[in-house]
Amino acid sequence: MSDLDAVLFANEVFYRAFADRDMAAMEDMWAKTLPVCCIHPGWEAIYERDDVIESWRAILGGETSPDVNCLSPRVYFYGDAAFVVCFEEIHGDHLIATNYFVRQDGQWKIVHHQAGPTRAIVPEPQEAPDRTIN
């Protein structure tokens, strides 16, 4: 599997855990030994892994946990790190999100997630170019 496919797969696993409210999968997606940060829409930045995991537990365990779909992901590489810029569709509305991944023990793990409102028009699905920057 190419790095591009592997990062897109990791991003899909992250959103599948979100959509399925699978707390074990969500916890497994986050890097265990590196600094992490998560900024949910309208929340303050969360910096400690335990606090990030607890924030997801609150979101995924809530009665109003949103259904989410990831749209139009684009991957940008920086050596053993990559970030994905994508749109999140929630109840017909869209947020723009950035998910930052690092290669940890041969697997791509998320170290940063941020989502927020956007006025951008969601592009039609298409093949996004592999963006490699060294």
- What is the predicted pLDDT for the residue at 127? 52
Q: To the nearest whole percent, how much of the chain has pLDDT over 90?
A: 80
pLDDT digits (tens, 9 = 90+) for 79-100: 999 999 999 999 889 999 999 9
> Distances in Å between the alpha carbon of 12 and those of 17, 21, 46, 63, 99?
8, 14, 22, 23, 11
- Provide the residue type at 95 as one letter: L
Q: Report whether pLDDT(133) > 50.
A: no
Q: Please give the CATH architecture assigned to the domain spanning 3-119.
A: Roll (3.10)
Place 126 in a pLDDT band, splitting at 50, 70 and 90.
low
User: Kind and range of the H or E element at 14?
Assistant: helix 3-20
Q: Domain-by-domain residue ranges, the chain? A: 3-119
